[in-house]
Amino acid sequence: MNTNKNTVTRERKMKVTTPNIIRAAGLSAMVAGTIFAVIQPIHPPDVLASVTTSAFIIITSFKAAMSIFGLIGIAGLYARQVEKTGWMGLAGYLLLTIFYAIQMCYSFAEPTILPLLAKVAPTFVDSVMAMSRGVAGPMDLGAFAVVFNILPLLYLLGLLLFGIAIFRARILSRWAAVLLASSGPLAIAMSQLPHQFARFAAVPMGIALVWLGFSLLTERRASASEPVLGKVSPELSQTVAN
């Protein structure tokens, strides 16, 4: 008898429900934002000599993981507010999704492919690192560089539209939405600084994503704990009837 009860309890805990998926998305957004903010001050210089170091491989691996968690987190933030954010929310969500998808490909190549090519094709790797710094490298990377150069535009417009849509939806933290919307233009403005300082422009976006993920996580718990009007538990109904 106890075995059956334990089995039922485990099945209930493992049951996939919409609130549980939304909570998981909130946690994913928090993880993505934390990684994005933390790695900026400790990221190795984007130069050829860094590519084969342990620090570069570890941190760029975290960048690839950040993109995966970011995709899940952004999807959850949008799904929770899909009926309130309108076309602006959809546009912002699609732009950020494309941004994370492309970023994930480049971030995956950094720790897995570039270290292998550092000795056999140093000119190519040096050009990729120069591309990351926003300067011209010794080799023309063609479409590889063109697609990479689209990322800032996706980042700017995606954060701006998605942040404004979240602010207008009035479901999650509006201050976090303001920070998210402003972090895109701030990053573009700070891109004029030396590269080692321009990296810190990503910190506000990371904080905003953590904030929104936490807001999503706590908002779903609050909603789940609220009684549903018009519905009475069977035990209460039986008590009233008796």
CA 93, CA 41: separation in Å to the nearest integer?
27
- Residue 10 has a pLDDT of 55
- The residue-averaged pLDDT of 33-55 equals 92
- Residue 135 has a pLDDT of 84
Q: What is the pLDDT of residues 136-176, one digit of tens each?
A: 888 999 999 999 999 989 999 999 999 999 999 999 999 99
| pTM beyond 0.85, yes or no | no
The helix (run of H) or strand (run of E) holding residue 160 is helix 143-169
Q: Confidence class of residue 225 from pLDDT cuts 50, 70 and 90?
A: very low
Q: Confidence class of residue 239 from pLDDT cuts 50, 70 and 90?
A: very low
For the four alpha carbons of 55, 62, 30 and 168, in that order, the dihedral sign comes to: positive
For the four alpha carbons of 127, 57, 107 and 154, in that order, the dihedral sign comes to: negative
Helix 202-225 / helix 54-112 crossing angle, nearest 10 deg: 80
Q: Looking at the chain, how many residues does it have?
A: 242
Return the SS3 of 135: coil
